[in-house]
A and B are shown apart, each in its own frame.
Chain A
Amino acid sequence: MTETPPTEAPPEETPPDLIPPEEETETATRPHGSLMERMAPANIDWRSVVLIPLLAVLLGLAIGALIILVTEGPGEIAPAYGALFSGSLGGIRSIADTLFSATPLILAGLSVALGFKAGLFNIGAEGQMVVGGTFAVLVGFTVTGLPAIIHLPLALIAGVIGGALWGAVPGYLRARTGAHEVITTIMLNFVAAQGLAYMLRQPWMLPEGRIDPISKPIEASARLPRILTWLPIENSGGIRLHLGFLIAIAAAFFLYWLLFKSTLGFEFRAVGSNPKAAAYAGMSVTGATVLSMAIAGGLAGLAGANETLGLLGSASNGFAAGLGFDAIAVALLGRSHPVGVVLAGLLFGGLRAGGRAMQVRSEVGIDLIVIIQALVIIFIAAPELVRSVFRVRGGRKTGQVTRGWSA
């Protein structure tokens, strides 16, 4: 197809002599059309990484205000957004709630981001969370008598292993049979959810004499400890922020190192960007596909363990519901960069925390948050739209057309 770049917008950084401003026939890059390439850009243009997401959020909030205007009247906008702000950032308690809400989103978002970088669309974070969270709970209540310093890491590792196994399966199917991971991971989400539902009807899984589908509670030694109970404020014991948040930040550092500093991550990115060149360079495309999905699954499994060992203390149906899809949103907003994922996770965590406050203190329901999140993702996926609204110049003229799931 013909590249028809807008007349005024060849990249400004074009050095003379080097980059022919025209699409020179055999020198030009291939069309960078695929969703995958836009969501996991190998090299980063900071204008599109920082500015566009920021503007997308602003635009999302603005349209959210319009929705409030239409449904509740102009008088509700200020109280609703006021509550949204104070509930997410207005004081230590609110900030802690934001961090708490962000934790699973960051961990699962990192999982999806790793997949994107390796050229895989991991829609299965939710199923991997379910399996990981369940493994963690099993270790949490079956193993007894250990000190927390041993029991907790053991339960977390179980969560990682569960998620990694559940992630490796679609990776293996993709590498060996070509079965697309989008299909297999979605299906494995159902298998995981129903598998858990089945387990929650087994007597050995349930507390003595109970039949409601909630597992035995984990030992206290396997619980992720709350980390702000020492604060000298009233009811600091009620602050739910726990060790999981620090684990999520550590995981982001780990992923950054893995992707950009390690040989393994170099392979993942090469396979994700151009599998043929990766094979030419002697990399194992099969190995990288299976391993990257396993590590992605491990990160999602950690997210699941974070839920069951931190918030719930047990496993129940639907404990990860919706998180897998929010994780995709977080990875997209964070442009699949670990730092971006942390920031995007914090933003969505803030929206969730603030949304709860908004629900309580104003007429506007938390559903509005879901709408705003969806709008933000639409604007991220359509950067040209945001550019035209805010008249942002330049950026990559490529990557406007979504042509498929992967390159």
Chain B
Amino acid sequence: MKLELRDITKRFPGVIANDSVNLEVNSGEVVALLGENGAGKSTLMNILYGLYTADEGEVLIDGAPVHFDDPGDAIEAGLGMVHQHFMLVPVFDLTENVILGVEPTSAGGRLDMGEARERVAEISARYGLDVDPSAIVENLPVGVQQRVEIIKVLFREAEIIIFDEPTAVLTPQEVSEFFEIIRGLKENGKGIIFITHKLGEVLTIADRITVLRRGRVAGEADPKTTTRQELSEMMVGRPVQLVVDKGPPSPGEVVLEVTDLAVADDRGHGSVAGVSFQVRAGEIVGIAGVQGNGQTELVEAITGLRHPVSGRIRIGGADYTGASPRQIHNSGVAHIPEDRQDDGLVLDFDLVENMILDGYYDEPYSRGLSIDWDHSRDVAERLVEQFDVRTPSVDVTAGHLSGGNQQKLIVAREFARDTKLVIAAQPTRGVDVGSIEYIHSQIVEERDSGSAVLIVSSELDEVTALADRILVMCRGRIVAEADPKITTHAQLGLYMAGETAPPEVRP
């Protein structure tokens, strides 16, 4: 099967989302659609999937023009979409989720679960998906939930499968397993469209690359010959610094000292099991590890959002074990939370309100009981300018900003104060290349101005690029300390999987 998009143009009031975009996918190949947030990737796919109607241009299957009024038509024609946010019923089992909407029935309209389970098992075996057709979906890890979505698409006999940012929610291991699945699909003759903004992934998995920028095709590339530098320039439209530019650290006195810290998660299970480390002024310490190995709870304990079970947390020499988030904030700690939309911002609030979110109660943002909105607004406007938050005004709500700008908003709020300790969890997750570059440079600047910096990231590239020292966490413990200049990703990967470091490099 051959799918072609020809000269697709889609206008929204005041903006051209797609401008004469061409794209072609054949059975048995993986085409990557690369672009920053807002480049028009999702609009294009929504047109293809029958959710939008193109203003101009046409969709052809095997050379014949087709028209989709809704996703049903697209599925009928052999298209399938795996969305980034899964559309599963958590309390249903895997097979029940797969057959939703296309339930096989036997005589008299009875649901034929037996047949359905057989077909799911067969699909699972053929594509090496390795799932239990009767497992309850909410009990499955994210990577397996994604496979349920893939089975849904295969169950509906899709020939061309669209993946929308499929790796955003996966751990590094899950990503490599996922790539195996993609290769299996390809070998079985499926055509794949892979939407992403991650350069490494397209180079690994794609047969061809199409780059979108501001609604236009900025270029096409062959993954065998192109480089990350070339791709990122195509994406952003200017040369991009992929390596973090930083000098050697000059560590000073200890700012953060964590001793024998144990923290329990929401269910009361110990997720940080006796962790000790120090972060000095003027250095960046990176905590690497597969997500879910206690990093989240560790950060929550240090920032006061979670009470530790035992152990000590000292900041600037004073004991802050079990202190409130506000006390810790007031001690000069900047905190970039792991989930900016859930924790870092109130999406319904405008930028002024978000800018004063954790400092509203005191000078200079308020006097007595009243907030000084005029002054707050001035500060917000200045910081938006200074930290390059792209917005038409400070009056729009934070929910209207792109992921990168939302993150820069948080960076502006947290870094504008006098800080002595910066704690940044997943500081660039889901953020476009241009913003990553900016946020990294700001973090390095914080270090150089004398703050102690603790970075937690599940992206190895980020940890190795930023950190002066790496601590690897696995199952709630620090299993190794590594020097990013001399440690390979492969070695770090082993530590992350739980292998302890040889004694001479342990902390």
A42 engages B400 (CB within 8 Å): no
Residue of A nearest to B52 (CB): A7
Look across to chain A and name the residue whose beta carbon is closest to the beta carbon of B55: A7
Contact A17 B214 (CB under 8 A): yes
What is the CA–CA distance of A21 and B361 in the complex, to the nearest angstrom?
36
Binds A, one of B35-43, B253-261, B280-288, B486-494: B35-43
Indicate whether A177 reaches chain B with its CB closer than 8 angstroms. Answer: no
Q: Does B172 contact A (CB under 8 A)?
A: no
Q: Is the CB of B403 within 8 A of A10?
A: no
B-contact 0/1 string along A314-332, CB 8 Å cutoff: 0000000000000000000
Q: Which residues of B contact A276 (CB under 8 A)?
A: 342-343
Q: Is A262 at the interface (CB under 8 A from chain B)?
A: yes
Inter-chain contact B15/A273, CB cutoff 8 Å:
no
Contacts of A22 in B (CB 8 A): 17, 40-43, 46
**Contact status A24-B402, CB under 8 Å:** yes
Interface band, chain B:
35 or more
Q: B361 to A263, Cβ gap below 8 A?
A: yes
A270 contacts chain B at the CB level, 8 A cutoff = yes
Task: Give chain B residues whose Cβ lies under 8 Å from the Cβ of A277.
Answer: 342-346, 357
- Whether A2 lies near B83 (C-beta < 8 A) is yes
Could you tell me if B343 and A24 are in contact, using CB atoms closer than 8 angstroms? no
The answer on a CB contact under 8 Å between B51 and A26 is: no
B248 in the interface (beta carbon within 8 A): no
Q: Is B441 an interface residue (CB 8 A)?
A: no
Check: B337 CB closer than 8 A to any chain A CB: yes
Nearest-neighbor residue (CB-CB) of A258 within chain B: B369
Give the shortest distance, in Å, between B433 (CB) and chain A (any CB). Answer: 14
Q: Does B100 sit within 8 A of A, measured CB to CB?
A: no
Give the residue name and chain of the A residue nearest to B327 (CB): A282
Most chain B beta-carbon contacts within 10 A, residue among A17, A266, A279, A281: A281
Does A30 make an interface contact (CB < 8 A)?
Answer: yes
**How many angstroms between the C-alpha atoms of A317 and B37 in the bound complex?**
61
Check if A281 sits within 8 Å of B357, measured CB to CB: yes
**Inter-chain contacts of A263 with B (CB < 8 A):** 360-361, 366, 369-371
A14: CB under 8 A from chain B?
yes
Interface positions of B from 2 to 47, Cβ below 8 Å from A: 12-15, 17, 37-38, 40-43, 46
CB–CB B430/A27 < 8 A: yes
Structural contact, A17 and B168, CB atoms closer than 8 A: no
Interface string of A210-241 (1 = CB under 8 A from B): 00000000000000000000000000000000
Binary interface encoding of chain A residues 1-27 relative to chain B, with 1 for a CB under 8 A from any of its CBs, else 0: 110100100101011111111111111
State whether A10 touches B13 (Cβ < 8 A): yes
Q: How far is the CA of A19 from the CA of B406 in the complex (A)?
A: 12
Q: How far is the CA of A15 from the CA of B401 in the complex (A)?
A: 11
Q: How far is the CA of A32 from the CA of B347 in the complex (A)?
A: 10
CB <8 Å contact, A17 and B390: yes
In the complex the two chains form, is A261's CB within 8 Å of B370's CB?
yes
Pairwise interchain contact B13-A24, C-beta atoms closer than 8 A: no
Residues from chain A with Cβ under 8 Å of B83 in the complex: 2, 25
Residues of chain A contacted by B397 (CB below 8 angstroms): 42-43
Of A15, A18, A26, A270, most buried by chain B (CB within 10 Å of CB) is: A26
Q: What is the CB-to-nearest-CB distance from B78 to chain A, in angstroms, rounded to a whole number? A: 19
Chain A residues, CB < 8 A from B361: 263
Decide: A18 near B348, CB < 8 A? Known: A261-B373, A266-B353.
no
Interface of A, helix, strand, loop or mixed by DSSP? loop
Interface residues of A in 123-147 (CB under 8 A from B): none
**B369 / chain A contacts, CB cutoff of 8 Å:** 262-264
Known pairs A14-B12, A261-B370; A281 contacts B38 (CB<8 A): no
The proximity string for A residues 279-291 relative to B, scoring 1 for CB distances below 8 Å and 0 otherwise, is 1111000000000
- With the chains together, A117 CA to B84 CA distance in Å? 32
- Asked whether A29 is an interface residue with its Cβ less than 8 Å from the other chain, the reply is yes
Contact residues of A between 286 and 302, Cβ < 8 Å to B: none
Q: How far is the CB of A9 from chain B (nearest CB, A)?
A: 9
Q: B70 — nearest CB in chain A belongs to which residue?
A: A4
Contact B71 A23 (CB under 8 A): no
Instruction: Establish whether residues A16 and B348, one from each chain, have CB atoms under 8 Å apart when the complex forms.
Output: no
Bound CA span A252–B403, Å: 37
Residues of B within 8 A of A16 (CB): 14-15
Chain B CB within 10 Å, residue with most, of A2, A21, A32: A21
Name the CB-closest residue of A to B15: A16
Q: Is A33 part of the contact surface with B, judged by Cβ < 8 Å?
A: no
Q: Is the CB of A282 within 8 A of B15?
A: no
Could you tell me if A18 and B391 are in contact, using CB atoms closer than 8 angstroms? yes
Q: Is B392 an interface residue (CB 8 A)?
A: yes
Instruction: Report the separation of the CA atoms of residues A82 and B356 in the bound assembly, to the nearest whole angstrom.
Output: 52
By the criterion CB–CB under 8 Å, are B346 and A270 in contact? yes
CB-CB nearest in chain A for B390: A18
Closest to B10 in A: A21
Of residues 181 to 214 in B, which have CB atoms within 8 Å of A's CB atoms? 214
A41 at the interface (CB under 8 A from B): yes
Contacts of A274 in B (CB 8 A): 342, 345-348
Enumerate B318-344 residues with CB–CB distance to A below 8 Å: 324-326, 329, 335, 337, 341-344
Q: Is B142 an interface residue (CB 8 A)?
A: no
Also in contact, A280 and B325, with CB within 8 A (given A1-B87, A23-B42): yes
Q: How far is the CA of A22 from the CA of B401 in the complex (A)?
A: 13
Complex interface: chain A residues within 8 A of B132 (CB): none
Residues in A with CB closer than 8 Å to B13 are 10, 12, 14
- Which residues on A sit within 8 Å (CB–CB) of B37? 20, 24-27
Q: How far is the CA of A305 from the CA of B43 in the complex (A)?
A: 57
Q: Please give the distance in Å from A69's CB to the nearest CB on chain B.
A: 40
B94 CB to closest chain A CB (Å) equals: 19
B305 at the interface (CB under 8 A from A): yes
Q: Are A273 and B349 in contact (CB under 8 A)?
A: yes
Complex Cα spacing A215 to B344, Å: 54
B346-381 interface code vs A (CB 8 A; 1 in, 0 out):
111110010011101100001001110100000000
Q: Does A37 contact B (CB under 8 A)?
A: yes
State the CA gap A274–B342 with chains docked (Å): 7
* Contact assessment for A17 and B38 in the assembled complex, using a CB-CB cutoff below 8 Å: yes
Query: 5 smallest A-B Cβ distances: which pairs?
Result: A282-B326, A42-B348, A29-B399, A20-B38, A26-B430
Would you list 15 pairs from A and B whose C-beta atoms are within 8 A, ordered by A residue? Answer: A14-B15, A15-B15, A22-B42, A24-B37, A25-B165, A263-B360, A263-B366, A263-B369, A266-B360, A269-B346, A270-B346, A270-B357, A277-B357, A280-B305, A281-B358
Beyond the given pairs A2-B51, A18-B390, A276-B343, 19 more chain A to chain B contacts, judged by CB atoms under 8 angstroms and listed by A's residue number, are A18-B400, A21-B12, A21-B15, A22-B17, A22-B43, A26-B37, A26-B168, A29-B400, A261-B371, A262-B371, A266-B371, A270-B353, A274-B342, A274-B347, A277-B345, A280-B337, A280-B358, A281-B325, A282-B329
